[in-house]
Amino acid sequence: MRPREMRSRSILPARIATSALAVALAASLLGAPARAAGPTERRFVSARNGITVEAPVGWTLSTHTGFPNILVLLLHPDGSRISIAVSETPAKDAREVAEPNRRALEKQTGSAVTAKAGARNGVELDGQASGRNEAIVQLYLVRALAPEGPRQAIVVSLFAPESALALRRADLDFVIGKLGLTPITLPAAPPAKSGAGGSSSAGERGAEKERR
């Protein structure tokens, strides 16, 4: 294994321990997967998660991410990657999800990571992968799946060579702008079970008493 690959893989345990969504960073740092969808396939739909992703021109889609939380990877010939990760979260807003990952990202990359207000009422993190000359941009979103139910956290991550950041940033904005978030039909709560043998009415209990 080359030294570069060893450095990439070494971030996995700490990253995943911080947050299930942080696998988006870990997987992207591993590089492009072996298989990608055909060049004409530019749209990905996950009805289960209520997510629709459209790839910009020049990018290909891959669902062979190796991580269950990462729905899809977008791959560019210059080595840039965009990943979309989802997970249920108890967090009330995007900042609550982004802040612990910002601290972990600083620790793992060895460089400062800034947080600011992002698109679609999200939080954006900006940093650089130390020793790789790659820029990192992540957008954190949180939405309610039901008024009193669970929330879903969504992380859109871009990893791009510093020299190509301006172009790839425009592609990231395209993906974020086209990101479809549709309602999810949550499973119905199971009906409450009665006691063993069922319950009887007052009249039935009275008739039983008379029979005795």
The whole-number pLDDT of residue 131 equals 74
In a domain, 196, yes or no: no
The whole-number pLDDT of residue 65 equals 85
The whole-number pLDDT of residue 94 equals 96
In a domain, 205, yes or no: no
Q: Which residues contact 139 (CB under 8 A, 6 or more apart)?
A: 118, 119, 120, 122, 123, 124, 155, 156, 157, 172, 176
In a domain, 27, yes or no: yes
Q: Which residues contact 186 (CB under 8 A, 6 or more apart)?
A: 145, 146, 149, 150
In a domain, 104, yes or no: yes
In a domain, 203, yes or no: no
- 183-192: Cβ within 8 A, 24+ apart: 183/50, 184/48, 184/49, 184/50, 184/145, 184/152, 186/145, 186/146, 186/149, 186/150
CATH label of the domain that carries residue 165: 3.40.1000.10
In a domain, 206, yes or no: no
**pLDDT mean by block of 10 residues, the chain; 212 residues:** 36 35 50 48 93 96 90 95 94 95 90 96 93 91 86 96 96 98 80 55 46 49
The whole-number pLDDT of residue 149 equals 75
In a domain, 198, yes or no: no
The whole-number pLDDT of residue 148 equals 76
- Structural domain of residue 44, as residue ranges? 3-187
The whole-number pLDDT of residue 37 equals 52
Q: Model pTM?
A: 0.76
Q: How many domains does the chain have?
A: 1
